[in-house]
Structure formats: C-alpha cells, structure tokens
Amino acid sequence: MRIYREKDYDAMSRRAAHVMAAEIIHRPDCVLGLATGSTPIGMYKQLIQWNKAGDITFKEVRTVNLDEYKGLSPEHDQGYRYFMQKQLFDHVDILPENTRVPDGLAADADAECAAYDAYIRSLGGIDLQLLGVGHNGHIGFNEPADVFVTPTHVVDLTERTIDANARFFATRDDVPRQAFTMGIGPIMAAKKILLIASGEEKAEAVYNTICGAVDPHCQGSILQLHPDVVMVADEAALSKVIAAGVKV
C-alpha cells in the first residue's frame, strides 16, 4: 500500500484528484468505482475544474457507485444518485448512460443486486475504485460483521452509521435503516483502489484499516490483501498510524 500523507483536507483532495485524473488520462474509457460522503467532495471539485479547463474528459468514462440507501428515490436530496449528480455528474462531460448507482427503489432487491454485479462484470470490472472509510471501518456500506460478504447485497445499517449520517437528514428517524452496497468481491477485484480519509475522527478507523488484523469487524482491513492500494489521507486521519511509529 502506498500512503500519501497530506497536511490537510485540501491537500488530500488535490492529491486524490491527481490519482483519479491520472487514471482517466491513462485510460480514457476507464471504469471508475465512485463513492459518496463528505470526504470526496473536494476531490470532485478539483476534477470538475480540470474538466472545465479541458485537462481531462469524462466522455468515455464509465462509473459505478458503491452504494445507495434502500427506499430513497434518485431525486431524494439525501440519496447517493442525487449526491453524484450535484457533486460531479452535472458539472462534467460524462454521458448519463455511462453512470450507474444502485436503484434504491428497486422492487426486487435481490434482482437489483444481481443485475448490479452483472453490469460491473459486463464492463470488465472496475479499473479504479475510490473508497472512503466509515467511523467503524466500513467501506461502501459493508458494515462490521462476522464475515466479508462478496456480492452486492442489502445491508442493515449499524446504529453508529445511522448516527454518523443523521447529520445530513432532517431527523435521525429519516435515515434509512438499510442500503444497497457493492460487496467486497467487486471492490477487491478492482485493478486499483484509491482510499481517502480526512480528520481526527477517522484516525482509529484508518489505523484499524491499514495496521490492524484483517478482520470483518473492520471491513476496510481486507484492503491489506489488495495488491494495488493508494491511500491518500491528511495528518489528522493518519495521526494514530503515525503515533504507532509507522513510517508514512
């Protein structure tokens, strides 16, 4: 795992944008696995700027998102399809038909999960998968569990995740209790992974992810077994790793 230690959120965002832009430049029709949450917003802003300046183009890029709340429509302002439109897709030259987010309203959840994995396979897998990390070490919405679940599936969100994401909803009761998430299978099958983290509140999850035992109770720890992970994090997020004497 290559670790880029950056001084703050802005530097982290810029470095992460460089890694993603490099992939797009190197492989214009690449398949990007994308993530939501607060962490990638700065990175998306930078990519939008470079796209507007003509430095990168998304014209042939295909994207698959990691997850979506079950029960939220694409227009729901806390849904992840809506997030992607507002934070990236509406501002770059990507073709709408080349973007995919799990359908939160799918009547048949199992069929949606199977179709999602089949779609990723039809693209030839993911070239670069972007990942944030949850406070409990989740990646996508793969919550702490006794096992790593391979395919895309529906997950029950933990109380900790509901608490963490409640800040975006009017009330805690509005946070959906379930979500669709890409499983560990397609994530680990991605050719390259870009893991990003910012802030002191992620320090423990980052430590467990990159220094802890490979354990499904910290789902991010499986990334230690992936051959090509680039982690970009700010000093606050790396503080526990640095304190443990790991050279980053």
Q: What angle do CA 54, 60, 65 make, to 5 degrees?
A: 105
Binding mask 65-94 for ligand GLP (x = CB under 6 A): -xx---------------------------
Question: Which sequence positions are flagged as catalytic?
Answer: 67, 136, 138, 143
CB of 35 to ligand GLP, least distance (A): 5
Q: Does 39 bind ligand GLP (CB under 6 A)?
A: yes
Kindly indicate which of the ranges 34-42, 51-59, 92-100, 109-117 contains the residues binding ligand GLP, using the contact rule CB under 6 A: 34-42
CB atoms within 10 A of CB 227: 9
Q: Does 36 bind ligand GLP (CB under 6 A)?
A: yes
CB of 130 to ligand GLP, least distance (A): 9
CB nearer ligand GLP, residue 60 or residue 185: 185
Nearest to 137 by CA among 210, 186, 39, 32: 210
What residues pair up with 3 in beta bridges, in sequence order? 231
Q: Does 141 bind ligand GLP (CB under 6 A)?
A: yes
CB nearer ligand GLP, residue 38 or residue 73: 38
Cα→Cα distances 200→105, 188, 240, Å: 35, 26, 9
Q: Give the number of residues in contact with ligand GLP, rule: CB under 6 A.
A: 13
For every residue of 97-125, DSSP letters joined together read: GGEE---TT-SSHHHHHHHHHHHHHHTTS
Cα→Cα distances 46→13, 87, 180, Å: 8, 11, 28
CB of 175 to ligand GLP, least distance (A): 10
Rounded Cα gap, residues 69 and 240, in angstroms = 31
User: Can you list the alpha helix ranges (DSSP code H) found in the chain?
Assistant: 9-26, 41-52, 80-87, 109-122, 159-165, 184-189, 203-211, 239-243
CB nearer ligand GLP, residue 4 or residue 180: 180
Please report the sign of the dihedral spanned by the C-alpha atoms of residue 241, residue 238, residue 84, residue 17. Answer: negative
Q: Look up residue 24 and give its two tokens.
A: 């797009």
Choosing from 98, 136, 152, 165, the residue that interacts with ligand GLP (CB under 6 A) is 165
Q: Does 38 bind ligand GLP (CB under 6 A)?
A: yes
Quote the distance between the C-alpha of residue 139 and its chain's center: 7
Kindly indicate which of the ranges 24-32, 33-41, 94-102, 105-113 contains the residues binding ligand GLP, using the contact rule CB under 6 A: 33-41
Q: Does 37 bind ligand GLP (CB under 6 A)?
A: yes
Choosing from 42, 104, 140, 220, the residue that interacts with ligand GLP (CB under 6 A) is 140
Judged by the rule CB under 6 A, the positions of this chain that interact with ligand GLP are 35-39, 66-67, 132, 134, 140-141, 161, 165
